[in-house]
Chains A and B, each alone.
Chain A
Amino acid sequence: MEYGLDLEYSFNEFLKGFGLSSEIAHIIWLPLPMLLVLVAAVVGVLVTVWLERKISAAAQQRIGPEYAGALGVLQPIADGLKLLVKEDIIPAKADGILFTAGPILVLVPVILSWLIVPFGQNLLISNVGIGIFLWIALSSIQPIGLLMSGYASNNKYSLLGGLRAAAQSISYEIPLALSVLAIVLMTNSLSTIDIVNQQSGAGILSWNIWRQPVGFIVFWICALAECERLPFDLPEAEEELVAGYQTEYAGMKFALFYLGSYINLILSALLVSILYLGGWGFPIPVELIAKFLNLPINSPFIQVFTASIGIVMTVLKAYLLVFIAILLRWTTPRVRIDQLLDLGWKFLLPISLANLLITAGLKLAFPQFFGG
């Protein structure tokens, strides 16, 4: 299965052609994929913000942004510019250091998690062995940043919002990790590349969603709760808590929270598509297309086709899920805090445990379908 473009190798060979040593070529190469992914994440946020405005407008029978560019596509950029030039305020009684460190601690783990998102066989920053476990570990840092900003704001709404965010994030992390564990059990690997490759056998039929329907739903609910999206946006519930831990924030620090929440939403959508919807896989396997076109699997045309269709499929699946998340946000009411914790501890946790147990049993009974 080791086919596909290896851009790093070609780039290093290209630089070596100018007489550079392989070490220096590697150092020049290193920041490129990181910058590319960072730009992709920010552009993804701009697109999502525009989608959110347009879809919410449609759900409420409004027009939405219209004058900034065609169909208002430039509206998110205008929003971003507005946040950039706003005054940066630290409230007089707030704790300056923690107030500044909070938003950074919220944003950095989310961006770091993009390390493991694959857009193709070799199209990811680093194929680390612990793969998906890295994301689970990194996402557990976020509540510290939320608690920090909630405490440092010196405001009762902020503190309550921070505490709610931490409680919510801790409760939903466990079913999330358990449903990922069921996938890992089927794949025999934590690496995201292996997880996608394991689903690429027969196109759409071999996607994990058919083998893990319960896990898929549990994971999606937990991912929404981790992103603090409605119906689980209790930490910033406007009617009760003003804006939760974000109440005292303005300007660029608020923009960091804003960016963080949208990058997290896109990341969750990407991970759902990787874990359950076949990642970069096309619904029809590429081998069949190559056979149909009478081309060998290693020919340059098929390789470029595979790489580009991989990126398109990953982004398409992720944005389909983002669309569902936006629709959910604008059509469902918010749950109460006791309902939220009940759902997490008394419903999702037992269900995901049972799912893990059944997956293990099925793996022993039918090793050819559930990964031997």
Chain B
Amino acid sequence: MSIAITTQIICFTVLSLVILIGALGVVLLESIVYSAFLLGGVFMSVAGLYLLLNASFVAAAQVLVYVGAVNVLIIFAIMLVNKKEDLKPINDIKSRRIISTSICLTLLSLLIRVDLTNIWSLSSPQNSIGEESTIRIGEHLFSDYLLPFEVASVLLLMAMIGAIVLARRDVMSKDISTGLPVDQELIEKSSEPLLTNKN
């Protein structure tokens, strides 16, 4: 099995490098569009790591949700509002950087602690389920993890209703960002169907 193991090590190295460099690029690059596309690359490489762990369903779900939905929406939003304007300089940039660095370092130390204390090795090779994982995930989601699953769906529903309320300005009397009264006529005009008068 030497060839298989070598292939796995090569794949793991390449994927880890892509994830690390890509993640640094997402944070450090000036262009927000490049950051967004690199984020997609990082998500894809994480899916590759799941594949190496024999978790093909999780890998496909990662691609579908993070690359196909989250990242596409991020890029979509960037392209719809991509104005060429310089960012305003912030006064207390130094203290903000120190605070964010310390928060990130705390999170990192927490992750390292989890990594060191958790027992990663399986008790026996029979415990790895591989292709059967789809069924196992379904069983868990509908039995012992049912409550978190339902709570997550309620959370998503709330986010969706919130997005609709924000997008449909006619349910509010005031514009959220400017505070001015909403021009109701403009809304009426835009919702009128085309080609109504031409019969």
Contact = CB atoms under 8 A, between A and B. Distances in A.
Interface size range on A against B: 20 to 34
A35 interface: no
Secondary structure call for the A interface: helix
Contact of A159 (B2, B69, B79, B132): B79
B64 A136 contact: yes
A368 B167 CA distance: 47
A153 to B, nearest CB: 12
B76 A147 contact: yes
B71 A144 contact: yes
Contacts of A138: 63
Contacts of B63: 137-138, 140-141
Interface in B131-183: 131-132, 134
B40 interface: yes
Interface string B53-74: 0001100110110011101110
Given A130-B57, A144-B40, A159-B79, A137 B33 contact: no
Nearest to B62: A137
B80 interface: yes
A163 interface: yes
Contact of A163 (B2, B61, B71, B80): B80
A147 B64 CA distance: 17
Contact of B33 (A128, A140, A151): A151
Interface residues of B, number: 27
A308 to B, nearest CB: 30
A151 B132 CA distance: 41
A98 B29 CA distance: 15
A170 B72 contact: yes
Contact of B56 (A27, A98, A128, A140): A128
Given A130-B56, A190-B134, A143 B72 contact: yes
A129 interface: yes
B3 interface: yes
Contacts of A129: 56-57, 130-132, 134
Interface in A290-308: none
Contact of A151 (B56, B79, B130): B79
A254 interface: no
